[in-house]
Structure 1
Amino acid sequence: MMKMFPFSGRYLLGILLASVLSVGPAAHAERLKDLAGFQGVRQNQLVGYGLVVGLDGSGDQTTQTPFTVQSIISMLQQLGVSIPVGTSLQLKNVAAVMVTTSLPPFSQPGQTLDVTVSSMGNAKSIRGGTLLMTPLKGADNQIYAMAQGNVLVGGVGAAANGSKAQINHLSVGRISSGATVERSVPSSFGQGNTIQLELNTSDFSTASRVVDAINRRFGPDTAAAVDGRVIQVKAPPSDQRVAFLGNLESIDVTPAQMVAKVILNARTGSIVMNQAVTLDTCAVAHGNLSVVVNTDNAVSQPNALAGGQTAATANSNIAITKDGGQLLMLKAGVSLTEVVKALNAIGATPQDLLAILQAIKASGALRADLEII
């Protein structure tokens, strides 16, 4: 039987109004470190292939994951253990894993990093296992860190006689301070007389405001905008550069209002819009078509002396109802409050609002960019 849920767009947009408009219409200043970053100051992704041992019978099925057996044989050979050719290893306590982490900027040898360990075979769980020494490489195929340690898994599971219970994920774990940096990444950040400041979001108005704020703080001609994202700043000598950058990050800048945008999530029916969204006067007709199918199961029982057989029957009733469409006029709204009120007047479900907003955008009445995720 089909169930009908009375979930309307009024409920969704009411939550949106309460959460978004509580911030207030006035723009506020933000620290420059929250709006931009320095060119060359970035993380680097590291990845490695390793083995987790010491599992309680929940490791890879070696007949289905031959790379696990090959890795074990290669590791044992490096440790001086020779295995006869043709030996079939049936192991249950070993799992092949991928180890990933990020190398922070300015990392130095000896620094420790947290690593994530993920099973790549058919291991049931890596809970309680120990990661053996695993080299972590960067995009240039050079080793930058070594990882090893006990894997901590946040889930738990149990199975017996065909029954299974599991909480959270058992194939991914984490090792705190499980990797040690072995090599630093060369950086040209401290070289030259200028540094490049990159905005997180390209915007010419915000870039102009950042330049004005820097020049007011450190003097004219200190900063100049290269484009809508990159700002070139004159930097002092290297022995004074760290203090200068610390003062630069603490400058308060009021960012410009962003481009009007509406985000539509077609899978969940979520609708999010920023404060710059406006609406012109338009008319919208909305009607609902509902199809309800009810099925009643019954049993047909023949008489005692009849030669028939008992049979199950299903009786289905299909009802189609159509609500009368109503043409509603939405008045022009110059603020997010008025736009939400206008959309609430339609009384549509979130899924219907996805199509209605697209139609309003196509008519030119919605002053915003639509982005479907």
Structure 2
Amino acid sequence: MYRLLIAAAATLVVTSQASAQVRIKDITDVAGARGNQLFGFGLVVGLDGTGSRSTFTQQIAVDMLQRMGTTTQIFSQLPAESVLRSTSISAVMVTAEIGPFARKGGKVDVTVSAIDDARSLQGGTLIFTPLRGADGNVYALAQGPLSIGGFSVTVGGGGVQKNHVNVGRIPGGGLIEKEAPGELVRDGKATLLLKDPDFNTSRLIAKTINERYPGVASASDPGAVVLCQPTDLTKSATQLIAEVGLLEVRPDIPARIVINERTGTIVAGEHVALSPTAVAHGNLYIGVSINPLVSQPAPFSGGVTAVVPRVQVASSEQQARLVPLPKSTTVSDVARTMNALGVTPRDLIAIFQAMKKAGALHAELIIE
């Protein structure tokens, strides 16, 4: 029982204190200041026998050599799989994100992922690869040696591998060739977008800004606060947004419980409340074991020896007791009440789901 209490207390993470003061810039984004995803298709070379011999990859390598002007008579006479049989290459997808105000000539990090049957990208170098945006335009060029952050060694029938070796990064490997458009101010207005939209938080942000700069901010909806630059304010739009971002507010955090069923983690926020209810929870365990038995025929019977599986099924059920739960108004009360039941973290997940369905749990339940 003591171990169960410790496990439940460790897994139910609570935030019982009032929400802290946070900077506006940490809970909002500026409309127009967004990154852009880039992608490209390329080839990694220089692999130490860990590349791909697939026809797909070999054809890509041949096509690239032909585009570079490296053509011979054998290229036109033989199929790609016969021209080039190399295990030092791999076809890859290259991805990157360019910032909203990145300038031409700047650099970005790129991620390289194998899309063929290469065993490892360790020691490889990405060949010149254009990176395009959603509009099809080339915004950056990527090239350089890969950093894997792991290794893979195979000897004979065994091997050792650390981390994932089919994905690598090239820090600063993307050179920006075209700037992504970014527009902060439109029609004399800038908009702050809340990362977690909420009516009250939007109102509090506008109120805090207007206390410093009267008449500047208005909450247009739960997810946006519009900034209008007054004519008597000599600050630039960039300076105004920077100073507004440093102002602090106390966001209104909704009652919410987040459950990750894969890890058994439960995180409960502020304002989670319980109505008076009663909970009975028991566990049913079913075990199935298979033991192979050898059936030996009698001498001179003409039968053959056979292996027959012997299946055994056992079950046990823990006795459940009905526990009344009082009204709880804080998340600390909820944690103490749940831990007092002496249930495991996995049981807590099932209990929370049942209480939500019964209407006794007054919080948004998010299951991941």
The TM-score normalised by the length of structure 1 is 0.87
Aligned with residue 244 of structure 2, among 234, 242, 248: 248
Which residue does 2:77 correspond to in 1?
86
Aligned with residue 34 of structure 1, among 3, 26, 34: 26
Change (3 A) 1:132 1:10: same
Q: Say whether 1:147 aligns with 2:142.
A: yes
Contact 2:54 2:116 in 1 (8 A): no
Which residue does 1:222 correspond to in 2?
216
Distance (whole Å) between structure 1 residues aligned to residue 250 and residue 327 of structure 2:
28
Which residue does 2:229 correspond to in 1?
235
SS in 1 for 2:227: strand
Distance (whole Å) between structure 2 residues aligned to residue 295 and residue 205 of structure 1:
60
Instruction: Report percent identity of matched pairs.
Output: 38
Distance (whole Å) between structure 1 residues aligned to residue 43 and residue 331 of structure 2:
54
Q: What's the offset of the Cα at 1:91? A: 1.6
Which residue does 2:61 correspond to in 1?
72
Q: What's the offset of the Cα at 1:289? A: 2.6
Q: Number of aligned residue pairs: give it.
A: 360
Q: What's the offset of the Cα at 1:9? A: 5.6
Q: What's the offset of the Cα at 1:191? A: 4.6
Q: Structure 1: state its 5+ residue gaps.
A: 1-5
Distance (whole Å) between structure 2 residues aligned to residue 143 and residue 341 of structure 1:
57
Change (3 A) 1:321 1:191: closer
Change (3 A) 1:230 1:312: closer
SS in 1 for 2:102: coil
Amino acid at match of 2:334: V
Superposition RMSD in Å? 2.9
Contact 2:11 2:345 in 1 (8 A): no
Distance (whole Å) between structure 1 residues aligned to residue 194 and residue 138 of structure 2:
31
SS in 2 for 1:205: helix
Please identify, of 222-231 and 264-273, the stretch whose mean Cα deviation from structure 2 is larger.
264-273
The TM-score normalised by the length of structure 2 is 0.88
SS in 1 for 2:221: coil
Contact 1:62 1:91 in 2 (8 A): no
Aligned with residue 343 of structure 2, among 344, 348, 366: 348
The 5-angstrom pairing of residues 14-25 of structure 1 reads 14-16=9-11, 19-21=13-15, 25=17
Q: What's the offset of the Cα at 1:369? A: 1.8
Distance (whole Å) between structure 2 residues aligned to residue 252 and residue 296 of structure 1:
66
Distance (whole Å) between structure 2 residues aligned to residue 238 and residue 77 of structure 1:
60
Change (3 A) 1:239 1:145: farther
Amino acid at match of 1:69: Q
**Deviation string for 1:82-107 (max 9, x for gaps)?**
14313222121111111111001101
Which residue does 1:3 correspond to in 2?
none
Q: What's the offset of the Cα at 1:163? A: 1.3
SS in 2 for 1:247: helix
